[in-house]
Structure 1
Amino acid sequence: MRFPDIDPIAFQIGPVAVRWYGLAYLAGILLGWAYAKRLARTQRIWGDRPAPITPADIDDLLIWVTLGVVLGGRLGYAIFYQPGHFLDDPLGFFRLWQGGMSFHGGMLGTTLALVLFALRRRIPVLSLLDVAAAATPFGLFFGRIANFINGELWGRPSDVPWAMVFPGAGPEPRHPSQLYEAALEGAALFLALRFLTHSLRSLGRPGLTCAAFIGLYGLFRTIVEFFREPDPQLGFITGFFTMGMLLSIPMVIVGAATAAWAIARARR
């Protein structure tokens, strides 16, 4: 199966080209924002206590999260995957349409933005992190779709019927690992967190939703790394371990430990 011939430019107005990559990130942020507002105003999912976050808080948070995602994701990519590259080409840091975003860097940048915003507004930090975690799968889903449209971050060679020949990846059919990530890190993660927030009322246990997000993302990303081609400038770090695995496996441990702490704290 050949990779579909998708123009990375969605439309163009004069000299200004609007790319699917940018539209995908915009869609993820806006849908996540709308969903977070819905969580904030749905009182029944917060248990016995009133929601400590208002839709107005979510409106004001949008710009903070956007900066955290973009700056953190770009810095994370530079540090974890392309050390030295942006030192040789500093202006390349601003060419976002060429790709190059790290989830782990974006998560750290967003977490910092959320903590600073919560402290400034005197909002419970854990509750804000929970709401943000529940809304994040929208961005992950559309971000991986954008990777697929760009024909980047392809998978390892494979003979499965849906394997694709990606431009620039040689003649071998490969796993469309970007779609695997969209399905697991986006759709499956969203459904799991929605079950927690709406059926198990996890927002009433501050920190639990965020912990579940961290642990499940780490698990899903580790699984996908067995199908995804390691970044060429890094390859396998040691044995079969990739940089993505080394960054994600600790997330499973941290997520499980934090979930146990959040449940015990709620009981007390």
Structure 2
Amino acid sequence: MLILSAAASAAEPIYWVDLGLTQGIDLGFFMLRWYSLAYLAGIVLGYWHLTRMIKAPGAPLAQRHADDLFFYCTLGIIIGGRLGYATFYQPELWADPGELVQLWNGGMSFHGGLVGVLLAIAYVSWRGGLNFLRVADYIAVCVPFGMMFGRIANFVNGELWGRVTDLSVPWAMVFPGAGPMPRHPSQLYEALLEGALLIVVMLLLFWKTRARYRPGLLVGVFTAGIALGRFTVEFFREPDAQLQEFAMRTGLSMGQWLTIPLIAIGIGMVLYALSRPALGSGRPATA
């Protein structure tokens, strides 16, 4: 506290309230929240990019399948994300169905949304007779768009702020409802690592290499990459209030514990994909 007090006297942090951010567009009869628009933008941009991807050689699905995926993945993101948040982060929501469905108030779990998307891919692949792993590769390239927009929306909402820091961090910020101490804007860290950086990596792999001809490689890179990004950012992110005791007791936050299996799965999928012959290589598959 003495160090933080000295730092505060030497310089001023950035105050979130001074940024002039609002939670949405006030239409008079309805508040169109940036949080909702962020999810919509991510889904629409992902769908647009998927339609471009399937026009490139080697696509495992047709436009009609992309349309079905757009619909079912949207349901998977919304339903899975909200139910995952209620399960892992705020179990008391299950006792209040009215609050459980209030998505506009925030509270979505990446891990729950991931399960929802996987179920959507599995259903569309089964119904259309498609290769699940190859379809998942194509979807994985598009997901980081939504991750980036979603984390930016968290910042605009002034929620899910970071841990207390000192003013040696030039962008340290005071968030409303988080007390007077400067904090890491961890929402922007997540937008960069889970969103912008992963967008660049996935687009380069798809468009500049032959990664799409190695089933499981793209989804493996995505899974390991986004989990590593989340695990890293959790060191700077304040644990949810109801889970702070859990983080102190176990040494890691709930988000970190949930990402450890994903890191292992992602690395395993990358190794599996690289150990198999590329599609169209002419080499027989290994036993």
What TM bracket, shorter-length normalisation?
over 0.9
Q: CA deviation at 1:239?
A: 4.3
What letter corresponds to residue 39 of structure 2 in structure 1?
A: Y
Q: Which residue of 2 aligns with 1:53?
A: 61
Q: How many residues align?
A: 260
CA contact (8 A) 1:38 1:55 kept: no
What aligned pairs does 1:212-227 form with structure 2 within 5 A after superposition? 212-227=221-236
Q: 1:237 to 1:129 in 2, by over 3 A?
A: farther
Partner SS, residue 83 of structure 2 = helix
| Greater Rg by CA | 2
The answer as to 2:115 corresponding to 1:104 is: no
Q: Which residue of 2 aligns with 1:29?
A: 43
Partner SS, residue 41 of structure 1 = coil
Q: CA deviation at 1:5?
A: 3.0
* TM-score (norm: length of structure 1): 0.94
> Over the residues paired in the alignment, what is the CA RMSD in angstroms?
1.2
The answer as to 2:214 corresponding to 1:205 is: yes
CA contact (8 A) 1:157 1:173 kept: yes
Q: Which residue of 2 aligns with 1:11?
A: 26
The percentage of aligned residue pairs carrying the same residue is 48
Q: CA deviation at 1:264?
A: 1.4
CA contact (8 A) 1:29 1:66 kept: yes
Q: Provide the C-alpha distance between the structure 1 equivalents of 2:33 and 2:233, rounded to a whole number of angstroms.
A: 26
Gap regions ≥5 residues in structure 1: 44-49
Q: Which residue of 2 aligns with 1:69?
A: 77
* TM-score (norm: length of structure 2): 0.88
Q: Provide the C-alpha distance between the structure 1 equivalents of 2:127 and 2:277, rounded to a whole number of angstroms.
A: 25
CA contact (8 A) 2:65 2:124 kept: no
CA contact (8 A) 2:148 2:196 kept: yes
Q: Provide the C-alpha distance between the structure 2 equivalents of 1:161 and 1:126, rounded to a whole number of angstroms.
A: 43
What letter corresponds to residue 21 of structure 1 in structure 2?
A: Y
Partner SS, residue 228 of structure 1 = coil
CA contact (8 A) 2:230 2:256 kept: yes
CA contact (8 A) 1:237 1:243 kept: no
The answer as to 2:139 corresponding to 1:132 is: yes
Q: Which residue of 2 aligns with 1:46?
A: none
1:22-57, CA deviations, whole angstroms, 9 ceiling, x for partnerless residues? 1111000000110111111122xxxxxx32212332
